[in-house]
Structure 1
Amino acid sequence: MGAMSTSDITTTAVCYTGSLPVTDPDCLVTREVPVPSPGPHDLLVEVEAVSVNPVDVKQRAGAPADPTTGFSVLGYDAAGTVVAVGEEVTLFTPGDAVFYAGQIDRPGTDQRLHLVDERLAGHRPTTVSAAEAASFPLTMITAWEVLFDRLRLTTDSAGTLLVVGATGGVGSAMLQLAEALLPQVRTIATASGAERTQWVRDLGAEHVVDHHLDGHAFADAVLTAAPGGVNWLFTAHSEGQIPLYARIVRPFGDIVAIDDGPRDVEPLKGRSIAWHWELMFTRSLEQTPDMVGQHDLLEKVAALVDAGQVRPTVSEHLSPITAGTLQEAHHLVESNHTLGKVVVSGWE
Structure 2
Amino acid sequence: MKAIGFRESLPISEKDSFIEFEADQPSPAGFDLLVKVAAVSVNPVDFKVRQSAAKENVLEEPKIIGYDAVGEIIAVGDKVSLFKEGDEVYYAGDLTRSGSNAAFQLIDERIVGAKPKSLSMAEAAALPLTGLTAWESIFDRMKVDPKTAKGKTILILAGAGGVGSIAIQIAKQVAGLTVIATASREETENWCKSMGADFVVNHNDLKSDLEKIGHKEVDYILDCVDINGYWETVIDIIKPQGHIVTISGNSEPLNLMLLKNKSVSFSWEFMFTRSMYTTDDIIRQHEILSEMANLVDKGILKSTLKTELRGFSVENFKKAHELQESGKTIGKTVIKF
TM-score for both structures, normalised by structure 1: 0.92
1:123 and 2:111 are equivalent in the alignment: no
Alignment counterpart, residue 28 of structure 1, candidates 9, 12, 18: 18
> Residues 173-194 of structure 1: CA distance to partner in whole angstroms, max 9, x if unpaired?
11111222122x1111001122
Name the structure 2 match of 1:345.
336
Give the superposed CA RMSD. Answer: 1.5
Say which SS state the counterpart of residue 203 (structure 2) adopts.
coil
Say which SS state the counterpart of residue 261 (structure 2) adopts.
helix
Asked if structure 2 preserves the Cα contact closer than 8 Å seen for 1:103 and 1:284, the reply is yes
Say which SS state the counterpart of residue 207 (structure 2) adopts.
helix
1:318 and 2:309 are equivalent in the alignment: yes
How many residue pairs align between the two structures?
331
Hey, what's the Cα distance between the residues in 2 that align with 1:19 and 1:48? Answer: 26
1:138-149 to 2 correspondences below 5 Å: 138-149=129-140
Asked if structure 2 preserves the Cα contact closer than 8 Å seen for 1:223 and 1:248, the reply is no
Gaps of 5+ in 1: 1-10
Amino acid at match of 2:145: T
Query: Percent identity, aligned pairs only?
Result: 38
1:208 and 2:197 are equivalent in the alignment: no
Q: Do the aligned partners of residues 144 and 226 (structure 1) sit closer, same or farther apart at CA in structure 2, a change above 3 Å counting?
A: farther
Q: CA deviation at 1:226?
A: 4.8
1:1-348 to 2 correspondences below 5 Å: 11-64=1-54, 69-156=60-147, 157-158=149-150, 159-183=152-176, 185-213=177-205, 218-236=206-224, 237-261=226-250, 262-265=252-255, 266-346=257-337
Gaps of 5+ in 2: none
> Residues 274-314 of structure 1: CA distance to partner in whole angstroms, max 9, x if unpaired?
11000010001111111111001101111111111111111
Asked if structure 1 preserves the Cα contact closer than 8 Å seen for 2:8 and 2:59, the reply is no
Say which SS state the counterpart of residue 220 (structure 2) adopts.
strand
Amino acid at match of 2:134: A
> Residues 147-199 of structure 1: CA distance to partner in whole angstroms, max 9, x if unpaired?
1100111212231100001100100011111222122x111100112221111
Asked if structure 1 preserves the Cα contact closer than 8 Å seen for 2:118 and 2:296, the reply is yes
Amino acid at match of 1:187: V
TM-score for both structures, normalised by structure 2: 0.95
Hey, what's the Cα distance between the residues in 1 that align with 2:190 and 2:321? Answer: 25
Hey, what's the Cα distance between the residues in 1 that align with 2:214 and 2:42? Answer: 34
Asked if structure 2 preserves the Cα contact closer than 8 Å seen for 1:52 and 1:342, the reply is yes
Hey, what's the Cα distance between the residues in 2 that align with 1:224 and 1:273? Answer: 24
Hey, what's the Cα distance between the residues in 1 that align with 2:123 and 2:230? Answer: 34
Asked if structure 2 preserves the Cα contact closer than 8 Å seen for 1:242 and 1:267, the reply is no
